[in-house]
Amino acid sequence: MSLRIVVTVKYVPDATGDRHFADDLTVDRDDVDGLLSELDEYAVEQALQIAEDADDAEITVLTVGPEDAKDALRKALSMGADKAIHVEDDDLHGTDVIGTSLVLAKAIEKAGYDLVISGMASTDGTAGVVPALLAERLGVPQVTLLSEVSVEDGVVKGRRDGDTASEQLEASLPAVVSVTDQSGEARYPSFKGIMAAKKKPVESWDLEDLEIEADEVGLEGAWTKVDSATERPARTAGTIVKDEGEGGKQLAEFLAGQKFI
């Protein structure tokens, strides 16, 4: 039977762009270009490698996000994933991590899965908790923060590197894993992959498809609230140290003043 892999991929605002908050203190997503979270590229890569080693596997990439989030799905499809699911609904506006995990879990259940692969964190929210929340909601084991991952005989195995030790972990499928940026360089989509992605299926689901009530998500259903936000102050001109014999001393004093040394 085919190994069904679902990879959760997030469409994030480009960190190099100028980001702002909207009036309701959510991120103004219309104001900035977005892209597939770089950390989720590692998750797609690991899914592709697991699928290459399996007799028969199918990779579905899943995102919860606005219309433009399709770009993230297309990138993952052009890397080699087989199909995509896009969950989009106006009522998702303002959804926090708890709501996002609810939507993802319902979509994963509806899609059917043996293995869920997530990134270690998104590059915008960086909560790093969605994989654990997914495992809890799905009622399956979680093996998180893996820098090496493989699947054999219905078991997912991996290595988690800590500061003082590396652990070898395993769990029976179905399971949720998350992979780190040490798991292996993500491949670039080839021209052939980009062309093939245009023909791959992308399903669109809304909250009704997932039997989720509007008040379970969005700002109303959020467990967290942003009370206020302040613009980052404009950059000021740096301190220039001219070395006229005393440069080293001045530099050391500056660093000490900033509590760097």
Ligand X SMILES: Cc1cc2nc3c(=O)[nH]c(=O)nc-3n(C[C@H](O)[C@H](O)[C@H](O)COP(=O)(O)OP(=O)(O)OC[C@H]3O[C@@H](n4cnc5c(N)ncnc54)[C@H](O)[C@@H]3O)c2cc1C
**What DSSP element (H or E) covers 78?**
helix 70-79
User: Least distance (Å) from ligand X to the CB of residue 42?
Assistant: 9
Enumerate residues 43-102 that contact ligand X by CB under 6 A: 43, 63-66, 92-97, 100
- Options 129-137, 140-148, 207-215, 251-259: segment touching ligand X (CB under 6 A): 129-137
Nearer to ligand X, 32 or 251 (CB): 32
Cα dist. 204→85, 93, 95, 107, 182 in Å? 6, 17, 18, 11, 32
The residue type found at 31 is D
Q: What secondary structure letter does DSSP report for 67? A: G
Question: Using the rule CB under 6 A, is 144 a contact of ligand X?
Answer: no
Q: What secondary structure letter does DSSP report for 233? A: P
Determine contact, residues 221/99, Cβ cutoff 8 Å.
yes
Nearer to ligand X, 37 or 60 (CB): 37
Question: Using the rule CB under 6 A, is 143 a contact of ligand X?
Answer: no
218: left (phi over 0), alpha (psi -120 to 50) or beta: left
Length of the chain measured in residues: 261
Nearer to ligand X, 3 or 27 (CB): 27
Enumerate residues 168-227 that contact ligand X by CB under 6 A: 224
Q: How many chain residues touch ligand X (CB under 6 A)? A: 32
Q: Residues in the site for ligand X, rule: CB under 6 A?
A: 8-10, 26, 37, 39-40, 43, 63-66, 92-97, 100, 104, 118-119, 121-122, 125-131, 224
